[in-house]
Amino acid sequence: MNYIGLMSGTSMDAIDAVAISISSDTKLAVLATHSAPYPVELKAQLQRLGSPSSSELELAAQLDTRLGELFASAADEVRNKAGLERQHISAVGSHGQTVRHCPGAQQPFSLQIGNPAIIAERTGIATVADFRARDIAAGGQGAPLAPAFHLWMFHSRERNRAVVNIGGIANISYLPAQIGQRVRGFDTGPGNTLLDHWVAKHLGHNFDADGKWAATGTVTVTLLERLCNDDYFRAAPPKSTGPEHFDLDWLQRYLAEMRPPPQAQDVQATLTELTARTIAQALNDHFPSVDEIYVCGGGTHNKHLMVRLRSNLSSVALVETTAALGLDPDWVEAAAFAWLAHQTMTGQPGNLPSVTGARHEVVLGGIYKA
Ligand SMILES: Nc1ncnc2c1ncn2[C@@H]1O[C@H](COP(=O)(O)OP(=O)(O)OP(=O)(O)O)[C@@H](O)[C@H]1O
Ligand SMILES: [Mg+2]
């Protein structure tokens, strides 16, 4: 069976589209990939909408429609690249663009936009969307959802594996070798989000290419210690977070205490170390028996970050990207939502209560029929 996965993460960089085939023997094969960068002005609008203080209903509804059209185009594009007709695709799984993630609020919710009715209408393919809501309704965080896919795709019976996804936010999945042991996972905190925003503010770039700018700076130890003291890092899982917590205002509160203020490149070096250290600490504290770590997400392209991550994880024998397990690290998240669509279409649960904290397993998402 063939599926399309559409992912646009908290980095708000691009729509990642992947066409995959799923079978019981070979599991997953990538048929085609397509990445559609967000236009600069759309990214700015999404960031405005996503900022914690925004409450712009009209803009949210407009962008919901606009993204629906863009997601539909990305799905058609990747289907064409795969050389498939629409009737050969069982479903599109669309994550949507998160504009607010508040699973711990009095009225918990996680809001993704990118109208799935439009995707189904334009593509003529059944579309599964709104994956997080049902897990939250069952008492869960609604996140992370990728661990169930990581388990299906990357589990080994010999080695305890962990998968680390470094997107805007970083999340880990721990996959114990022994069947029956609980899979666990959570968001560790910032991945690329602070790095992106700091480099945008100071150099006007979308991201710190290869981590080159951070590599010119020196880690400011006092700042790093203070940032690492944020309550989120010490909170017990299940937990999930978003850029509404780890934003430049959050950083600014700590920077305001620093005399003299650190150099901009030293802050970039410190933020890179923060990502590396908090991922490593989460692994060391919660999953000390991990044998192998596989990294995915855009953060794998940040060479300096990968060096710092490996250095912080020196006790683990193997730190690789998911390419070593046959899946390109850039397409793991989009593939996860293609697989989650498969779970939904076949009536199977997509959440892991041991990860999200939900009271029970649930079939995720709503189906918008072809
Ligand atoms: N060459 C590179 N050097 C440094 N960083 C890079 C490079 N290429 C990509 N990145 C980083 O990866 C980010 C995009 O990663 P990705 O698409 O995995 O994140 P995301 O969209 O937030 O996804 P998700 O939330 O699903 O994990 C960019 O914003 C940037 O920070
Ligand atoms: Mg992305």
Please indicate whether residue 9, judged by its CB atom, sits closer than 6 Å to ligand 1.
Answer: yes
What is residue 299's predicted lDDT score, i.e. its pLDDT? 98
- Mean pLDDT, residues 128-144 taken together: 98
- Mean pLDDT, residues 88-101 taken together: 98
What is residue 342's predicted lDDT score, i.e. its pLDDT? 98
State the distance from the centre of ligand 1 to the C-alpha of 29, rounded, in angstroms: 23
Please indicate whether residue 10, judged by its CB atom, sits closer than 6 Å to ligand 1.
Answer: yes
Cut 0.85: pTM above it: yes
Q: What residue owns the CA closest to ligand 1's atom 11?
A: 298
What is residue 312's predicted lDDT score, i.e. its pLDDT? 97
Q: Confidence band (pLDDT; 50, 70, 90) for 24?
A: confident
Please indicate whether residue 96, judged by its CB atom, sits closer than 6 Å to ligand 1.
Answer: no
State the distance from the centre of ligand 1 to the C-alpha of 324, rounded, in angstroms: 19
- Mean pLDDT, residues 164-183 taken together: 96
Q: Confidence band (pLDDT; 50, 70, 90) for 26?
A: confident
Q: How far apart are CA 270 and CA 194, in angstroms?
A: 11
What is residue 180's predicted lDDT score, i.e. its pLDDT? 87
- Mean pLDDT, residues 235-245 taken together: 95
Query: Which ligand 1 atom lies nearest to the CA of residue 333?
Result: 26
CB 10 within 8 A of CB 49: no
Q: What is the pLDDT of residues 56-82, one digit of tens each?
A: 999 999 999 999 999 999 999 999 999
Please indicate whether residue 176, judged by its CB atom, sits closer than 6 Å to ligand 1.
Answer: no
Please indicate whether residue 330, judged by its CB atom, sits closer than 6 Å to ligand 1.
Answer: no
- Mean pLDDT, residues 286-291 taken together: 97
Q: Which two tokens stand for residue 323?
A: 């390419």
Q: How far apart are CA 10 and CA 38, in angstroms?
A: 12
Residue among 213, 214, 211, 202 at smallest CA distance from 248: 202
Rounded to 5°, the CA angle 91-242-298 comes to 65
What is residue 317's predicted lDDT score, i.e. its pLDDT? 85
Query: Which ligand 1 atom lies nearest to the CA of residue 206?
Result: 29
The mean of the pLDDT values for the chain is 97
Q: What residue owns the CA closest to ligand 1's atom 30?
A: 207
Q: Which of the ligands is closest to the CA of residue 11?
A: 1
Domains in the chain and their CATH numbers?
Answer: 2-142+335-368 (3.30.420.40), 146-316 (3.30.420.40)
CB 362 within 8 A of CB 355: no
Q: How many helices and strands in the chain, by DSSP H and E?
A: 14, 12
Please indicate whether residue 298, judged by its CB atom, sits closer than 6 Å to ligand 1.
Answer: yes
Please indicate whether residue 5, judged by its CB atom, sits closer than 6 Å to ligand 1.
Answer: no
Q: What is the dihedral of CA 171, 16, 1, 343, to 10 degrees?
A: 40
Residue 179 neighbours by CB distance under 10 Å: 7
Three-class secondary structure of residue 246 per DSSP: coil
State the distance from the centre of ligand 1 to the C-alpha of 164, rounded, in angstroms: 13
Three-class secondary structure of residue 62 per DSSP: helix
**Residue 330 clears pLDDT 90, i.e. is over it:** yes
**Residue 122 clears pLDDT 90, i.e. is over it:** yes
Please indicate whether residue 50, judged by its CB atom, sits closer than 6 Å to ligand 1.
Answer: no
Q: What is the pLDDT of residues 197-225, one digit of tens each?
A: 999 999 999 999 999 999 999 999 999 99
State the distance from the centre of ligand 2 to the C-alpha of 135, rounded, in angstroms: 23
What is residue 319's predicted lDDT score, i.e. its pLDDT? 96
- Mean pLDDT, residues 135-163 taken together: 97
Name residues whose C-beta falls within 8 Å of residue 89's C-beta, 6 or more positions apart in sequence. 2, 3, 4, 19, 79, 125
State the distance from the centre of ligand 2 to the C-alpha of 301, rounded, in angstroms: 12
Element housing 89 (H / E)? strand 89-102
